[in-house]
Amino acid sequence: MFEKLRSAIKSFTQAISERTLSEEEVEKILWNLEMELLESDVALEVAHELINRVKCEVIGKKLERGTSSTEYLKKYLMNTIFNILSQAKPPNLIDLIREKRAKGEPYVIIFLGINGTGKTTTIAKLAYILKEKGLTPILACADTYRAGAIEQLSEHAKRLSIKIITQRYGADPAAVARDAASYAKAHNIDVVLIDTAGRMQTSKNLMEEMRKIIRVVNPDLKLFIGDALAGNDMVSQAKEFQTFTNFDASILTKVDADVKGGAALSITYITGKPILYLGVGQAYSDLIPFNPEKFVKSLFE
Ligand code: GDP
**Distance in Å, CA 282 to ligand 1 centroid:** 7
Q: State whether the beta carbon of 226 lies less than 6 angstroms from ligand 1.
A: no
Atom of ligand 1 at shortest distance to CA of 125? 20
For the chain, which domains are there? 3-87 (1.20.120.140), 93-291 (3.40.50.300)
Query: Looking at residue 13, what is its pLDDT?
Result: 56
Measured in degrees and rounded to the nearest 5, phi and psi for residue 45 equal -65, -30
**Distance in Å, CA 115 to ligand 1 centroid:** 9
**Distance in Å, CA 120 to ligand 1 centroid:** 7
Atom of ligand 1 at shortest distance to CA of 115? 2
How far is CA 170 from each of CA 30, 59, 124, 147, 201, rounded to the nearest angstrom?
53, 59, 23, 10, 19
Q: State whether the beta carbon of 116 lies less than 6 angstroms from ligand 1.
A: yes
Query: Looking at residue 174, what is its pLDDT?
Result: 97
Query: Looking at residue 170, what is its pLDDT?
Result: 93
Helix (H/G/I), strand (E/B), else coil: 163: coil
Nearest-CA residue for atom 12 of ligand 1 = 118
Per-residue pLDDT of the chain in tens (301 residues, 90 and over written 9): 566 666 665 665 555 578 899 999 999 999 999 999 998 888 899 999 999 999 999 999 998 888 899 999 999 999 999 999 888 888 899 999 999 999 999 999 999 999 999 999 999 999 999 999 999 999 999 999 999 999 999 999 999 999 999 999 999 999 999 999 999 999 999 999 999 999 865 677 899 999 999 999 999 999 999 999 888 889 999 999 999 999 999 999 999 875 566 888 999 999 999 999 999 999 999 999 998 888 887 777 7
Which residue from 54, 137, 127 is spatially nearest to 287, judged by alpha carbons? 127
Nearest-CA residue for atom 9 of ligand 1 = 118
Q: State whether the beta carbon of 253 lies less than 6 angstroms from ligand 1.
A: yes
Can you point out the beta strands (E) in the chain? 18-20, 62-64, 107-112, 137-142, 164-165, 191-196, 221-227, 249-253, 275-279, 287-289
